[in-house]
Amino acid sequence: MSSKRQLDGAKRIVVKVGTSTLIHPNGRINLQAIDQLSFSLSGLVNEGKQVVLVSSGAIGVGMGQMGLDARPEKIPEQQALASMGQCELMTIYQQRFTTYGQKISQVLLTHDVLDYPESRQNVFNTLDTLLEWGIIPIINENDTIAVDELDHHTKFGDNDQLSAVVADIVDADLLIMLSDIDGFFNKNPRHFKDARLIDEINKIDSKVIEQAGGKGTKFGTGGMTTKLKAAKRILKHDRMMILANGENPSIIFRIMNGDKIGTLFRKK
């Protein structure tokens, strides 16, 4: 058996980075992580890859700006924080990517935009053109206006789902999901010392679903269940997804080198 993973020459890659990677536990922005992320993704483009970044963190950054320890429950307050945080987050991304000579763009999406064939095609056309130009689109949900109530469904739910949807839109070969955990375990590693990291998962069945549970940090919304939902979508469309720890985003280079890091979701 090969000690390396064969990623089938993945060229078009979506990278999703979670709030836990971008925000320190004290609520301040993790500048080192953003710098490593910018360096790594710029390096991939220099190698001839096409890269889309789905970035969480807007509300978390806004919370840090306002000195809040807990995510507010009121939707208008969350949306106001997202508006503040998105501005600062993109400013920092612009600074760091410019350092490595990499151009970026911002795309904010809501779910309803993708429900209509014409607007969905427009999103594809924009992203496809940016990728062909060697630009990294940075995508986030438009939290400032997104809601999920009654028949007015504009919200993806979380950026794990958004990243899987974006992978579909741009016809990506691979989704790299960076989180606060080393991959998918047979039981919660935070509670069980004998938890075992699963190297590869080929289908999302009831056993796998039972092994997932709980949500992430106080600044984010995701958890293992949302990542499995994203993985299920990825497998349905015969793509690949790797779930790995984003504490050091330069791990992306090792992932693309075929090192067996995290958990690979792929059909057999």
In angstroms, the CA 160 to CA 223 distance is: 9
- Beta strands 50-55 and 263-265: pairing type? unpaired
In angstroms, the CA 221 to CA 27 distance is: 15
User: Known binder of ligand: residue 179?
Assistant: yes
User: Known binder of ligand: residue 227?
Assistant: yes
**Which H or E run contains 54?**
strand 50-55
User: Known binder of ligand: residue 226?
Assistant: yes
Helical packing angle, 31-46 and 75-99, nearest 10°: 60
User: Known binder of ligand: residue 56?
Assistant: yes
DSSP per-residue string spanning 166-189: HHHHTT-SEEEEEESSSS-BSS-T
User: Known binder of ligand: residue 259?
Assistant: no
Paired with 105 in beta bridges are 137
The residue assigned the tokens 């939707």 is 75
Dihedral sign (CA 157, 163, 169, 173): negative
DSSP per-residue string spanning 111-157: HHHHHSHHHHHHHHHHHHHHHHTT-EEEEEE-TTT--EETTEE---S
User: Known binder of ligand: residue 143?
Assistant: yes
Burial class (CB in 10 A: 0-12, 13-18, 19+), 190: exposed
C-alpha torsion angle, residues 25, 85, 222, 124 (rounded to 10): -140
**How far from each other are the two terminal CA atoms of the chain, in whole angstroms?**
15
Binding residues for ATP are 16, 179-180, 221-227
User: Which parts are annotated binding residues?
Assistant: 16, 56, 143, 159, 179-180, 221-227
Annotated binding site for substrate: 56, 143, 159
